[in-house]
Chain A
Amino acid sequence: MAAKTSTDKASFKPRIAAFVCNWCTYTGADLAGTSRLQMAPNVRIIRLPCTGRIDPLFIIKAFERGADGVIVSGCHPADCHYTSGNYHARRRFAVARDVFGFMGIDPKRITFSWVSASEGGKWAEVVNDTTARVQELGPFSAYREMEARV
């Protein structure tokens, strides 16, 4: 990561939650591990059976609990372990995008991607890119400020 001019930003360590499916992306992340691919340490994975299981509320909740960014990742469109779970997920998230905006969450803080079980390298990229992007955006403080006010 390139050093940022603002010291504030440079010292900021984003916290990113990743909701990933068990079959593709989780396994891809395992592969990144066995391949010893170094990546930004800011992402915390929460494992789910399928992206179809991911409720947009999980994402909002993660932001509420202090996440600065979120990654959602699962199987490639035609490769869903459950045939069509990720298709439903994609449709739901297309709608949810607007909701996130409405909830005051900059959609740039959320990464949707497809990482298959064999794409360890791609996973590392997703992690690094998202971290860099969120770093740039700065801390997600909207909810904390709101909470403080209420």
Chain B
Amino acid sequence: MEKETASGESENTSASAHHGHAEESFRSEVRQAIGLNPAKCYQCGKCSAGCPMASEMTLMPHEMIRLVQLDRRDRLMQDESMWLCLTCETCTARCPNGFDPARMLDGLREMSLRAHGENAPRRIQAFHSSFLDQIRSHGRVFEFGLVFAYKMRSGALFDDVLNAPGMYFRGKLKLTPHTIDGVDDVRRIFDACMAEEER
């Protein structure tokens, strides 16, 4: 919240600059990329009222959508709240106006990764990258490898103690990966999707 005042003024000007051209505005870009019309949200706050992560977010789900409506890209992308969404779909299931906030946040994260990747909380980004790397290299997620890679990337070196030995002895942790036969198929899908995204 503190940094808001510092950057607030310059954002205002950028916001007003955007308002003139509906076609190039952030909100129209979001609409294009995600396929949802942000104007459909009438700011009732029901999503935020039921969001399990609201208490940890600095921007509430409806506030994030509001910032899209206001074309305040920077304000939104600088905040990490969108990364705290669990995609539990509570908001989407209850939105009275048939909007899909969960999908909107998914889309915003995707946009953020593309443009402002560094704003994603390091751990969460590290987790996602490690996870996807697992699928890319084996076709499936191999949990030990995932944990290991995640720890490497996030730097969260065994601080939270995933009780690895406990898992290992309960037969919950395998040390060698299984790679599926169709892994090339999966890689091709990855490449195609990434390429599509670039466009």
| Chains A and B share a contact (CB less than 8 Å) | no
Interface residues of B (CB under 8 A from A): none
